Amino acid sequence: MNRSICPRCGQPAEQGLCQQCALDLAVLFRLPDLVEVTLCSVCGSRQIKGKWQLPDDRSLEELASQAAVDAIWLHEEFSEPKIEIDLRQIGATRYLAKADIKGAFRGRRVEEHCEIPVRIKLVACDRCSRMAGKYFQSTVQVRGNRARGLTQHEIEQCKSIARSMADAGYRNGDQLSFIQEMREVKGGLDIVLGSTQLGRHMARAIHERFGGRLLESCKLVGKKDGRDVYRSTLLVRLPRLKRGDIVSFRGSFFEVVGFDGKMASITSLREGRRSSLSEEVAQAVEILGNRADAKKAIVILADDDAMEILDPETFKTTLASNPRGLSVRPGVG
Ligand SMILES: [Zn+2]
Ligand SMILES: [Zn+2]
pLDDT, tens digit, 9 for 90 and up, residues 74-123: 988 888 999 999 999 999 999 999 999 999 988 888 898 999 999 999 99
Ligand number nearest CA of 175 is: 2
Does the predicted TM-score (pTM) go above 0.85?
Answer: no
Q: Which tens digits make up the pLDDT trace of 220-264? A: 988 888 888 889 999 999 999 999 999 999 888 999 999 988 899
d(CA 240, CA 263): 11
How far is ligand 1, taken at its centre, from the CA of residue 244, in Å?
89
Residue 232 CA to residue 220 CA, distance in Å, equals 9
Taking a 5 Å cut-off on Cβ, the residues next to ion ligand 2 are 40, 42-43, 45, 125, 128
**128 Cα–ligand 2 center, Å:** 4
What percentage of the chain's residues is helix, strand, coil (to nearest 5)?
A: 20, 45, 35
Q: Give distance in angstroms: CA of 8 to centre of ligand 1.
A: 5
131 Cα–ligand 2 center, Å: 9
> Cα(52) to centroid of ligand 2, in Å?
9
User: Residue 112, Cβ neighbours under 10 Å: how many?
Assistant: 13
Phi-psi sector, 80: left (phi>0), alpha (psi -120 to 50), beta? left
Give the ligand with the smallest distance to the CA of 23. Answer: 1
Smallest-distance ligand from the CA of 40: 2
Q: Which ligand is nearest to the CA of 19?
A: 1
Domain covering 241-292 in this structure, CATH number:
2.30.30
Name the CATH code of domain 31-123 (choices 3.40.1350, 2.60.40, 3.40.50, 1.10.10). 2.60.40
What type of residue sits at position 109? R
Cα 262 from Cα 213, distance rounded (Å): 7
